[in-house]
Amino acid sequence: MRGLRSAGFGAFIGVALHLAFGMPLRSSLVHSVCIAASCWFWIDLGRIGVARWLYRRDLYQDNPKASGLVEGRWPGWPWMLPIIVIGTIIGFSAGNALAGWITGHPSPGFLRGSLSQALSLLVLALVPGVVITYWYYSRERLAAQETAILTAQRLAAEHQLKLLESQLEPHMLFNTLANLRVLIGIEPPRAQAMLDQMIAFLRATLTGSRAGLHPVSAEFARLADYLALMQVRMGARLQTRFELPAELAGAAVPPLLLQPLVENCIKHGLEPVVAGGRIDVSAAREGQHLVLTVRDTGAGLSNAESEGTQFGLVQVRERLAALYGAAASLQLQSSPGDEGGTLATLRLPLSLPLDLAVSPAEHPASP
């Protein structure tokens, strides 16, 4: 691409010479393009050769500059200036000879004519050579800086996501242990059953929660495990329903993404209601987005407790922002229909497929 651009610059110079001095257009274009392409070839060849030689030298001497040389292929201006001069002399002579052979009209070169003519030709050839080289250097340096910025932003987002995940897992565990503590005081047999269920849940979750992404079917399976754990304590007061289309089972989602929303449904939606209620978890596709919904038929937003840190909602929003930026969102609203309750809707870019680690059919929902 650099060679083609250099030939394009040569064509521009050829047209300018034709318009400014009345030189024949065909001859001017052929000479300018051949000289520009030839100068680019010899300058670029010298630049790459010197950069590789410096890289091997610094690598042998354990110099940290070596990685920068092999990345940028830029040996520095002290090396580039003589490379440009030598490359221009060789490139001009070779390109001029090639153009003379093509057109049948050789033009003056460094080896023909007086010394003043040679110096004039050298200056005329060096000016565009230096300008074009600096232009390439600026573009590559800007591209390298943009790449470094994007890499730093990606690493920062990954670190932030790991921090959020490390906060989520203890939060979920402490909530479960608090529920277990209450149950121990009133019904020890059910507390023992809940403890057994929690041990099984933690074993199943430990490996999957360390992955960056997993299938949405695995996310639903972990939620089914968690809700089965909660059913030991709540009994018939807690009912669940899952809806996952087969074509979306392999969609990639972050582990434990829906967990805080389900915990909110239990704590703020169902527990304040004597009769309890139902939690519905579903997945659907809208264009290129995966839409996940968590709904309860409990107390609703208007009756929800105002106390608390809203850790779950903040955590989910921050994880979505770290992974997807503005392409993902979380919306909380009152559930439509007569059953009431609260509806949480997540929209995130659809990514298919991942291997199906767990099928939601292995975790049948409560009626």
pLDDT tens-digit readout, 188-211: 888 888 788 777 777 766 655 556
Where does the pLDDT of residue 153 fall: very low under 50, low under 70, confident under 90, or very high at 90 and above?
A: low
Where does the pLDDT of residue 70 fall: very low under 50, low under 70, confident under 90, or very high at 90 and above?
A: very low
Q: Higher-confidence residue: 262 or 148?
A: 262
Q: State yes or no: pLDDT of 182 exceeds 50.
A: yes
pTM over 0.85: no
Where does the pLDDT of residue 291 fall: very low under 50, low under 70, confident under 90, or very high at 90 and above?
A: very high
Query: For the segment 226-265, what is each residue's pLDDT rounded down to a tens digit?
Result: 888 888 778 889 999 999 999 999 999 988 889 889 988 9
**Residue with structure tokens 């915990």?**
263
Residue-averaged pLDDT of the chain: 76
Q: Are 132 and 4 in contact (CB under 8 A)?
A: no
Q: Are 102 and 30 in contact (CB under 8 A)?
A: yes
pLDDT at 240: 94
Q: State yes or no: pLDDT of 69 exceeds 60.
A: no
Quick one: which of 148, 207, 169, 160 has its CA closest to 323?
160
CATH fold for the domain made of 187-362? Heat Shock Protein 90 (3.30.565)
Backbone angles phi, psi at 262, to 5 degrees: -65, -40
**Residue with structure tokens 């300008």?**
131
pLDDT at 189: 84
Cα 173 from Cα 38, distance rounded (Å): 69
Give the start-to-end residue ranges of the domains of the chain: 2-152, 187-362
List of residues 6+ apart from 172 with CB closer than 8 A: 226, 256, 259, 260, 263
Largest CA distance in the chain: 109
